[in-house]
Amino acid sequence: MAQQANHPLPGGHQLEEYTIDRQLSLGGFSIVYLARDPDGTEVAIKEYLPNSLALRAKGDIKPIITEDHLGAFRYGMKCFFEEGRALARLSHPNVIRVLNFFRANETVYMVMEYEHGRTLQEFIYKHQGHVSERFIRGVFTRMLNGLREVHSHKLLHLDLKPSNIYLRGDNSPVLIDFGAARQTLASDQPVLKPMYTPGFASPEHYGNRKDLGPWSDIYSVGASMYACLAGSAPQAADERMKKDTLTPAMVRWEGQFSDRLLEIIDWCLNLNHLYRPQSVFALQKALVADIHPPTSRIQSGWIGRFVDKFRSSPR
**CATH assignment at residue 40:** 3.30.200.20
Same domain membership, residue 271 and residue 216: yes
Give dist(CA 105, CA 65) in Å, integer. Answer: 12
Q: How far is CA 198 from CA 117, 223, 237, in A?
A: 25, 10, 7
Domain end residue (candidates: 113, 140, 171): 113
Task: Place 156 in a pLDDT band, splitting at 50, 70 and 90.
Answer: confident
- Rounded mean pLDDT, 290-314: 50
3-state SS assignment for residue 189: coil
Say whether pLDDT at 51 is over 90: no
Give dist(CA 156, CA 140) in Å, integer. Answer: 17
Q: What's the distance, Cα to Cα, between the start and end of the chain in Å?
A: 51
**Residue 6 belongs to a domain:** no
Same domain membership, residue 282 and residue 182: yes
**Residue 4 belongs to a domain:** no
Same domain membership, residue 220 and residue 140: yes
Give dist(CA 243, CA 151) in Å, integer. Answer: 31
Q: For the chain, what percent of residues have pLDDT higher than 70?
A: 85
Q: Which domain holds residue 96?
A: 17-113
**Residue 10 belongs to a domain:** no
**Residue 199 belongs to a domain:** yes
Same domain membership, residue 46 and residue 150: no
Query: In this predicted structure, which of 131-140, 195-204, 230-239, 265-274 has the lowest mean pLDDT?
Result: 195-204
Domain end residue (candidates: 65, 97, 113): 113
The pLDDT value given to residue 79: 81
CA angle at 180 for the pair 179 and 186, rounded to the nearest 5°: 90
The pLDDT value given to residue 297: 43
Say whether pLDDT at 186 is over 70: no
Say what the pTM is: 0.84
- Rounded mean pLDDT, 23-44: 93
The pLDDT value given to residue 231: 95
The pLDDT value given to residue 173: 98
Same domain membership, residue 196 and residue 94: no
The pLDDT value given to residue 198: 92
**Residue 9 belongs to a domain:** no
- Rounded mean pLDDT, 293-298: 49
Cβ pair 148, 288 in contact under 8 A: no
Say whether pLDDT at 296 is over 50: no
The pLDDT value given to residue 32: 93
Same domain membership, residue 107 and residue 123: no
**Residue 1 belongs to a domain:** no
pLDDT in tens, 192-227: 445 578 999 999 999 877 888 999 999 999 999 999
Type of residue found at 156? L
3-state SS assignment for residue 123: helix
The pLDDT value given to residue 166: 96
Query: In this predicted structure, which of 18-27, 185-194, 225-234 has the lowest mean pLDDT?
Result: 185-194
The pLDDT value given to residue 183: 47
- Rounded mean pLDDT, 132-157: 94
Number of domains in the chain: 2
More confident residue, 275 or 293: 275
The pLDDT value given to residue 87: 85
Same domain membership, residue 95 and residue 151: no
More confident residue, 10 or 186: 10
Give dist(CA 42, CA 91) in Å, integer. Answer: 19
Cβ pair 227, 199 in contact under 8 A: yes
Same domain membership, residue 107 and residue 138: no
**Residue 59 belongs to a domain:** yes
The pLDDT value given to residue 177: 83
Say whether pLDDT at 263 is over 90: yes
**Residue 44 belongs to a domain:** yes
Same domain membership, residue 216 and residue 85: no
Say whether pLDDT at 185 is over 60: no
- Rounded mean pLDDT, 226-239: 97
Say whether pLDDT at 290 is over 80: no
- Rounded mean pLDDT, 268-295: 86
Same domain membership, residue 304 and residue 169: yes
Same domain membership, residue 273 and residue 189: yes
The pLDDT value given to residue 1: 40
CATH number of the domain to which 147 belongs: 1.10.510.10
Domain end residue (candidates: 94, 113, 132): 113
The pLDDT value given to residue 178: 79
Average pLDDT value over all residues in the chain: 87
Same domain membership, residue 205 and residue 69: no
Task: Place 313 in a pLDDT band, splitting at 50, 70 and 90.
Answer: low
